[in-house]
Amino acid sequence: MWRMFLHLRWLLLLSISAGVWSVPIDRNGGDQEPKEEVQEENMDTGLYYDRYLREVIEVLETDPHFREKLQTANTEDIKNGRLSKELDLVGHHVRTRLDELKRQEVSRLRMLLKAKLDSTNTQSLQMDHASLLKQFEHLDPHNQNTFEAKDLELLISAATKDLENYDAERHEEFKRYEMLKEHERREYLKSLDQEKREKEEKRMQELKEKHRQHPKVNAPGSVDQLREVWEETDGLDPQEFNPKTFFKLHDTNEDGVLDEQELEALFTKELEKVYNPKNEEDDMMEMEEERLRMREHVMKNVDTNRDRLVSLEEFLKSTEKKEFNNAKEWETLDSKPAYTEEELQRFEAELRDKEEELKRKADALHQEQELLKERGKALEAQRREYQQAVLEMSQRQQQGAGREPPASPDGDLQQQQQTLKSEEAKAPAEVQNHLPAEPPQNLPIHT
C-alpha cells in the first residue's frame, strides 16, 4: 500500500546516500533502546532547489486527502502529472503555505540571478526577472505568487530528470577527482631530484600494493554477501539464512521496500574489507564511489520496474537467479583505472588553459591595481595643492583684516599740519621767542 506513496518521497531518497555514509544496522540485543534516527532535513539531494523540494513534500504530506491519493497512485500517475491535479482539493492552510514557499523560492532565485549578473558585470537596471526565471524548470515563472498544479507537475518532472542524472554526474566528478590526484602526484614527483623521486615512487608503489591486499569482496546482492551481513551484522546463524526475514530486518522504516539508503547500508561490511580511514593508502572518496557502484549493480539486477525501489517480490525473485548463488568476486576500483591516459592528457590541457586564464586575469587585476594606485597618488597631490591654496587664501584674508583703510589726499595734508603744530607746541620757549610773529613782507627780490 505504501509503494506508490514512496515514489514521491523517492525524489528525496535518490541521493541521500551521497550526503551521508551508510552505517551497519545493529540487530544484537533486541531489548536495547532504538537509536535516534537521522533527520532527513540534514541530508542534501545536491539539487539547487533541494530545500524547496523538501518543504513542498513535507507540506503536502500534512494534507489527509493528498496523502490518501498518493498512496493509491501508480508511478505513471505521478510522473505524467495526473497526481498534480489533486492539488485543487487540498486544504486552504496547505495551499497558503505552498504559496508562501513559492514566493520565497522566487525571491531566492531572483537573488541568485542578480548575484550572477553582478559577478559578470552585466547591467541589470532593466532586468526582466520573468524572462530570466524561465531558465529554472522546477516552477512556473509566469505565476510568481501562487503555487498551482502546474508548479507541482514541473517540480516532480524536474526533480525526476535531475536526480536520474545524478549518479552519472557523481561518476564524472569522481573521475575528475582521480585525474586531479594523478596530475598532482606527477607534478610532485617532477619537483624532486632523481634520488628523492625514485625513493618516493617506491613508497607510493608499496602503498598501492598494500591497498590491493585485502580479503575477498563478495558481489553485492549475492548469497555470500547477504549471509555475511546476516551473520556479522544481524548476529544470526548463517545456516538459517532466510531471504524474506532478511528483507524485513533491513526494511528499517517498515515501508515494504528497500530504498537506496537501506541498500547501501548492506555494503558496509564489504567496504570495510578494502577501506580503512586510518590507513594512508585508503581513499575515502574511492570508498563512496565503490558504494555507489555496488548499489547500481544491485538495482540493475533486482529492480525490474526501474522505480529505484526494491520490493519484497523483486528481492525474492533475485534470490532465485543463478547469479545469486554463483556470483563472481567483486572487482574493486583498483582493478581498473577510472580514466584513460588520453582522458588524463585532455584534463591536464584543461588545467593548463584554466591556469593561463587565471594568470591573465591576475595580471589584469594587478594592472588595474597599479593604475588605481597612480590615480590615488594624483588625487592625493591635488588634495594637498587644494589644501595649500585654501591655507594661503585664509592667511591673506587675516592680514587684510588687521590694516586701516587708506585715506584721501586732503586727509594726508591735514594730518601733516596737525603734526607740525604738535611739534611747535613741544619746542622750547626761547626758540619760539626768536621766531617772528609774522613772516616778513615785501622783501626785495634779487635778480
Q: What pLDDT digit, counting tens, does each position of 144-172 carry?
A: 889 998 888 888 888 878 877 888 889 99
Looking at the domain assignment, is residue 182 inside a domain? no
* Banded model confidence at residue 124, pLDDT cuts 50, 70, 90: very low
Cα 242–Cα 246–Cα 247 angle in degrees, nearest 5: 120
C-alpha–C-alpha distance, residues 163 and 155, integer Å: 12
Segment 123-144 shows an average pLDDT of: 69
> Do 148 and 222 reside in the same domain of the chain?
no
Residue reference for cell 529554472: 136
Burial class (CB in 10 A: 0-12, 13-18, 19+), 72: exposed
Query: Does 387 have pLDDT greater than 50?
Result: yes
Q: Please check whether residues 93 and 217 belong to one and the same domain.
A: no
Containing domain of residue 54, as a range? 49-119+130-154
237 residue type, one letter: D
Number of helices and strands (H, E) in the chain? 20, 2
Residue 333 lies in a domain: yes
DSSP-assigned letters across all residues of 333-378? GGGS-SS-HHHHHHHHHHHHHHHHHHHHHHHHHHHHHHHHHHHHHH
With the CA atoms of 58, 64, 66 and 69 taken in that order, what torsion angle do they form, in degrees rounded to the nearest 10? 130
Q: What's the grid cell of residue 181?
A: 590526484
Q: Are residues 335 and 200 in the same domain?
A: yes
Q: Identify the CA nearest to 249 among candidates 447, 66, 401, 27.
A: 27
Is pLDDT larger for residue 44 or for residue 270?
270
**Contact in structure between 105 and 52 (CB atoms under 8 Å):** yes
For residue 149, the model assigns a pLDDT of 87
Same domain for 82 and 206: no
For residues 153 and 81, the answer to whether their CB atoms sit within 8 Å is: yes
Instruction: Specify whether 335 is located in the same domain as 217.
Output: yes
pLDDT at residue number 277: 93
For the full predicted model, state whether its pTM sits above 0.75. no
Is 412 inside any structural domain? no
Q: DSSP of 86-153, one letter per residue?
A: GGGGS-HHHHHHHHHHHHHHHHHHHHHHHHHHHHTT---TT--HHHHGGG--SS-TT--S---HHHHH
What is the helix (H) or strand (E) element at residue 18, kind and residue range? helix 16-19
Coil, helix or strand at residue 447: coil
**Cβ–Cβ under 8 Å, residues 45 and 14:** yes
Q: What is the pLDDT of residues 223-243, one digit of tens each?
A: 999 999 999 999 999 899 999
Residue scoring higher pLDDT (403 or 221): 221
Please tell me whether residues 319 and 201 are part of one structural domain: yes
Q: How far apart are CA 124 and CA 116, in angstroms?
A: 10
The distance of Cα 352 from the centroid of its chain, to the nearest Å, equals: 24
pLDDT recorded at residue 104:
92
- Residues 135 and 210 both lie in one domain: no
Indicate the average pLDDT of the chain: 80
- Confidence band (pLDDT; 50, 70, 90) for 35? very low
Q: Which residue has the higher pLDDT, 439 or 77?
A: 77
Q: Give the end of a domain, one of 308, 339, 370.
A: 339
Interior/surface letters 24-60, b for 16+ CB within 10 angstroms, e for the rest: ebeeeeeeeeeeeeeeeeebebebebbbbbbbbbebb
Cell of 65: 486527502
> For residue 14, what pLDDT is reported?
43
Q: Is residue 431 part of a domain?
A: no
Q: From the CB of residue 74, how many other CB atoms can be counted at a distance below 10 Å?
A: 13
Q: 419 lies in a domain?
A: no
210 and 278 co-located in one domain? yes
Q: What is residue 398's predicted lDDT score, i.e. its pLDDT?
A: 84
* Nearest-angstrom CA–CA distance, 261 and 431: 134
339, 368, 386 - which closes a domain: 339
* 196 found inside a domain: yes
Residues 240 and 318 in one domain: yes
Instruction: With respect to residue 357, please indicate whether it lies within any of the assigned structural domains.
Output: no
Does pLDDT of 39 surpass 60?
no
What 3-state DSSP class applies to 310?
strand
Number of domains composing the chain = 2
Q: 205 and 332: one domain?
A: yes
Kindly report the CATH number assigned to the domain that includes residue 210: 1.10.238.10
Same domain, 105 and 211: no
Q: Is residue 437 part of a domain?
A: no
DSSP secondary structure string for all residues of 176-244: HHHHHHHHHHHHHHHTS-HHHHHHHHHHHHHHHHHHH--PPPPPTTSHHHHHHIIIIIS---GGG--HH
Same domain flag for 197 and 298: yes
Residue 404 has pLDDT above 80, yes or no: no
CA distance 266 to 228: 10
* Residue that wins the pLDDT comparison between 81 and 171: 171
